[in-house]
Amino acid sequence: MKTKAMPARATAEDIDTNRSVKTDKRHKNKQLKWLIGSTVFFLLLNGISLISTPFCDFYQHWVYPVWGQTYGRLTSLLPFSFGELLIAAAVFGIPLSLIVMAVLLIFKKSSRRKTARIFGFVYSWIAVFILGTETLNCFVLYHTSTFEQQNSISTSQHTDNELEALAFRLVEQINVLAKEVERDDKGKFLLTSDVTEVSRKAVADLDDEFKNFGGYYVRPKSIYCSFFMSQMDLMGIYFPFSMEANYNNEMYKAKLPCTACHELAHTKGFMREEEANFIAFVACDRCSNVEFRYSGYLSALTYVRNKIFEYADENTKIKLDSAICDEVWTDIDANREFWRSVEEAEDTVFDSRTVSEVSDKAMEASLHANGVKDGKKSYGRMVDLMLNYYGEHSFYSE
């Protein structure tokens, strides 16, 4: 009589292995669902922001400040730019990780699938993090109501005569301020103020009149690789993925206070460059610190003067430039010399002209992608805001 072989009993090791495989599979499926769900959510937010300005206004007023109070407050505790650290980690870490992945795929044939899966998830989460922080802290905010609409500022058109009148009002004020700031033995501007604390207070004080300026203010920080920022023609930058206001510490210091206020304006949800420029000027104009007032006027005068020089005849140009005092011209020339020295610098890791061109194209592409049709030219539209606002208000210094 033949007997049937009895099936072997599963060992404890086999049972543990099966459980481990099932657990790993569930974990992969759950992680994949989170990745897909997060991506869809952020894409949906971007889609809604394109069609609903009221949604974006609600988000700026009620939701965005939460990230500043939490994530922004956390990154502000760091004495260095967390955003710069993340960029450095990406620049050096991603290529290195690709090399490590390639080596493992070649020499660890038995675990190729697992290696590819692990690295795939890591890169996917990095992409989702970038998409998420850019969406929550930047993209949606580009589609809010304009600063004029939020604060009932006129949007009237103005004549050339009114623009020139504004220019001479600025010159009158900056000539006085130029003699009140500290200067070195060459007559150049000397910065003696605590830019971080004064800029935070200057922008926060706008809460008395304008909307969305309440709450916590992050700490403006200098960039360690400031020369590379100079090569990109950047004085400041707002990092959405770290919620930080960063500035170029190598630039001519007369421009630094206004730049810090400009970047802080971005951290309050004002992404449009002309609005950040206007906010920075008003904050500086009302600041009790003379160095900040001077920096604000120097920046505003540059934009207004450039606007006038687009159309004015030689007599008008000469008249305006002749009205500007020698101390202001010293700072204007020193600022120009700084940027010229960057452009002509030798023995650099990257050619300054090449970096500048790439940076310009990237900036233009970013602005166009966020609905700013005239790209970097939008910075100059702060002149229209000034004409409309200061047609009804006096300068603080007057």
Residues 6+ apart with CB under 8 A from 339: 230, 233
More confident residue, 42 or 371: 42
More confident residue, 106 or 187: 187
Verify that 175 and 258 share a domain, yes or no: yes
Nearest Cα residue to 137 out of 37, 296, 270? 270
Reading the block at residue 52, the tokens are 């609903």
What is the average pLDDT across 347-356?
Answer: 66
d(CA 29, CA 205): 50
Can you give the chain as a three-state secondary structure string?
A: CCCCCCCCCCCHHHHHHHHHHHHHHHHHHHHHHHHHHHHHHHHHHHHHHHHCHHHHHHHHHHHHHHHHHHHHHHHHCCCCCHHHHHHHHHHHHHHHHHHHHHHHHHHCHHHHHHHHHHHHHHHHHHHHHHHHHHHHHHHHHHHCCCHHHHHCCCCCCCCHHHHHHHHHHHHHHHHHHHCCCCECCCCCECCCCCHHHHHHHHHHHHHHCCCCCCCCCCCCEECCCHHHHHHCCCCEEEECCCCEEEECCCCCHHHHHHHHHHHHHHHCCCCCHHHHHHHHHHHHHHCCCHHHHHHHHHHHHHHHHHHHHCCCCHHHHHHHHHHCCHHHHHHHHHHHHHHHHHHCCCCCCCCHHHHHHHHHHHHHHHHHHCCCCCHHHHHHHHHHHHHHHCCCCCCCCC
Verify that 161 and 52 share a domain, yes or no: no
In a domain, 176, yes or no: yes
Q: What per-residue confidence (pLDDT) applies to 162?
A: 92
Min mean pLDDT across 14-18, 99-103, 182-186, 197-201 is at 14-18
What is the average pLDDT across 255-274?
Answer: 97
Span 9-36, pLDDT tens digits:
555 555 555 555 556 667 778 889 999 9
Q: What per-residue confidence (pLDDT) applies to 344?
A: 87
Verify that 133 and 176 share a domain, yes or no: no
The alpha carbon of residue 41 and the mean position of all alpha carbons in its chain are separated, in whole angstroms, by 23
Reading the block at residue 234, the tokens are 């950047």
Nearest Cα residue to 220 out of 191, 192, 251, 249? 249
Given a cut of 80, is residue 98 above it in pLDDT? yes
Tell me the average pLDDT of the chain. Answer: 89
Highest mean pLDDT pick, 14-18, 102-106, 264-268, 388-392: 264-268
Domain boundary among 143, 170, 196: 143
Q: What per-residue confidence (pLDDT) applies to 305?
A: 95
Q: What per-residue confidence (pLDDT) applies to 367?
A: 61
Verify that 90 and 189 share a domain, yes or no: no
- In the block, tokens 């190598």 appear at 250
Min mean pLDDT across 191-205, 297-311, 328-342, 369-383 is at 369-383
In a domain, 395, yes or no: no
Min mean pLDDT across 44-48, 229-233, 257-261 is at 229-233
In a domain, 274, yes or no: yes
Given a cut of 70, is residue 140 above it in pLDDT? yes
Q: What per-residue confidence (pLDDT) applies to 16?
A: 52
d(CA 383, CA 398): 19
In a domain, 15, yes or no: no
Verify that 131 and 185 share a domain, yes or no: no
Given a cut of 80, is residue 395 above it in pLDDT? yes
pTM of the predicted model, to two decimals? 0.89
Q: What per-residue confidence (pLDDT) applies to 363?
A: 61
Percent of the chain with pLDDT over 70: 86
In a domain, 335, yes or no: yes
Span 108-120, pLDDT tens digits:
888 888 898 999 9
Verify that 96 and 192 share a domain, yes or no: no
Question: What is the residue range of 308's domain?
Answer: 149-389
Given a cut of 70, is residue 169 above it in pLDDT? yes
Verify that 132 and 192 share a domain, yes or no: no
Domain boundary among 123, 143, 163: 143
Verify that 138 and 170 share a domain, yes or no: no
Burial of 366 per CB tally in 10 Å (0-12, 13-18, 19+): middle
Domain boundary among 85, 114, 143: 143
Given a cut of 80, is residue 8 above it in pLDDT? no
In a domain, 11, yes or no: no
Verify that 224 and 305 share a domain, yes or no: yes
Q: What per-residue confidence (pLDDT) applies to 352?
A: 66
Verify that 206 and 335 share a domain, yes or no: yes
Span 69-78, pLDDT tens digits:
999 999 999 9
In a domain, 243, yes or no: yes
d(CA 293, CA 178): 10
Min mean pLDDT across 1-5, 77-81, 256-260 is at 1-5
Verify that 133 and 153 share a domain, yes or no: no
Verify that 298 and 214 share a domain, yes or no: yes
Q: What per-residue confidence (pLDDT) applies to 341?
A: 94
- Report residue 391's pLDDT band, with 50, 70 and 90 as the boundaries: confident
* Domain total of the chain: 2
Span 55-66, pLDDT tens digits:
999 999 999 999
Q: What per-residue confidence (pLDDT) applies to 28?
A: 75
Given a cut of 60, is residue 307 above it in pLDDT? yes
Residues 6+ apart with CB under 8 A from 381: 274
Tell me the one-letter amino acid at 167.
A
- Report residue 381's pLDDT band, with 50, 70 and 90 as the boundaries: confident
Residues written for the chain = 398
In a domain, 103, yes or no: yes
